[in-house]
Amino acid sequence: MKRAALLVLLLAFGIAGGAAAYALADSPPPPPPTTTDTASTDTSTTDTTPASTSTTPTPPAPPARRTRIAAGVTISGIHVGGLAYGPAYSAVAVEFRSLLTLTLGDKTITVSPWKLGAKPFIGPAVSRALRARAGTAVKLVVDVQRAQAVDYVDTLAARYDHAVADAHVALRALRPMVVPEIQGSTIQRSATVTAIVLALQQSRRDRLELPARVVSPQVTAASFGPIIVIRRDTKWLYLYDHSATAQTVSFVRRFEVATGQPVYPTPIGSFKIVVMERNPWWYPPPDAPWAKGATPIPPGPGNPLGTRWMGLTAPGVGIHGTPDPASLGYSASHGCIRMFIPSAEWLFAHVKVGTPVIIVPA
């Protein structure tokens, strides 16, 4: 009985100790001891502000696309300020289609930029203009096919490269006509192509003088006025007049004349009046057998030249009056062309030095 009571007592004691140990282990640990650092003077405080959430900032919304070009904006010098895309495109396109004007001496030539292989990039230029600030000068990019420009300049050279030629008088059915002068020119091809390409790329439409060697004629059609045609065999002198403004030759008057004897024929060909004298002296030709022993004759009634002398470029030959009107209509002179004295005076008043004289065997 005593052993059993002792066992029960021991068991009770063990259970009570385990419970006490369990209760000790579950209790919270004591707080750490508080210590004061008397040497520290740090007065900073801990930032107790709650941490903010970090996110990527939202960019501002892009400005609305401009629908009209700002004031004062130009595209290759063309004012497009205040215009929308479509009207601005049309304005630039119309201006670019303008013909290029080329000058070669006194000649003016116009040509389309398309024929020269020019391609403008108008759309991108207008888009840049829509984004440009007021007053901006926007460049129009132009692509030029140089090969096409070379071909065009070759055609110009084939057409306009000419040797210089003076205007002159020719006969058609015994009537005079003035053949116009030809300006001499040689186009400098490489320099011309470069000048044309540069003008297109810069969208210039001012007159472009082509690089060329130009030689001007010394005699122009405008310089012609009176023209004389002498029909030697039928003994008639015809006076014509060339109108510089109308570029026509009209008949004025005709006169009966005497021409050279068969042994002293009046020369055939084209000549000019080179000297004009009123009341001339007559001097015997030094090498003419028929004038051997003759002496000079002063102006007056017996002068064989009458009262007017119009000397030609044919040596010793001229048109003059004669005191022997009965010789008119015959081959009676020593090569000169004789006229009735009043007729010679009238003709003298209507011609000038340089007047063409064409003598034909008709």
Tokens, residue 26: 């579950």
Boundaries of every domain in the chain: 66-221, 224-360
CB atoms within 10 A of CB 336: 26
Share of the chain above pLDDT 90, in %: 72
Residues with catalytic annotation? 320, 336
**Which listed CATH number (1.10.3470, 3.10.20, 3.40.50, 1.20.120) goes with 66-221?**
3.10.20
In the chain, the amino acid numbered 192 is T
Question: What is the rounded CA–CA span in Å between residue 336 and residue 320?
Answer: 8
Tokens, residue 295: 């002496």
Q: What is the pLDDT along the chain (362 residues), one digit of tens a residue?
A: 444 444 333 334 443 444 333 333 333 344 444 433 333 334 333 334 344 444 555 655 545 567 999 999 999 999 999 999 999 999 999 999 999 999 988 889 999 999 999 999 999 999 999 999 999 999 999 999 999 999 999 999 999 898 999 999 999 999 999 999 998 989 999 999 999 999 999 999 999 999 999 899 999 999 999 999 999 999 999 999 999 887 899 999 999 999 999 999 999 999 999 999 999 999 888 777 877 878 889 998 889 999 999 999 999 999 999 999 999 999 999 999 999 999 999 999 999 999 999 999 99
Question: What is the rounded CA–CA span in Å between residue 195 and residue 200?
Answer: 9
Query: Could you report the per-residue pLDDT of 291-307, keeping only the tens digit for each?
Result: 787 888 999 888 999 99
Distance of CA 241 to the CA centre of its chain: 37
- The DSSP code for 86 is H
CB contact at 8 A, 350 and 311: no
Tokens, residue 327: 């010789």
Quickly count helices (H) and strands (E) in the chain: 6, 22
Superfamily of domain 224-360: L,D-transpeptidase catalytic domain-like (2.40.440.10)
Question: What is the rounded CA–CA span in Å between residue 153 and residue 301?
Answer: 68
Query: Could you report the per-residue pLDDT of 77-128, keeping only the tens digit for each?
Result: 999 999 999 999 999 999 999 999 999 888 899 999 999 999 999 999 999 9
Sheet holding 318-322, edge to edge: 248-256, 236-243, 226-231, 356-360, 269-278, 308-312, 318-322, 337-340
Number of residues in the chain: 362
Q: 0.75 cut: is pTM over it?
A: no
Question: What is the rounded CA–CA span in Å between residue 161 and residue 182?
Answer: 10
Question: Around 219, how many Cα atoms within 13 Å sit in the side-chain half-sphere?
Answer: 13
Q: Find, among 271, 269, 336, the residue nearest to 309 by Cα.
A: 336
Bridge partners, 321 (sequence order): 339
In order of 38, 66, 124, 129, 133, the CA distances from 62 in angstroms are 60, 11, 21, 18, 17
Bridge partners, 111 (sequence order): 100
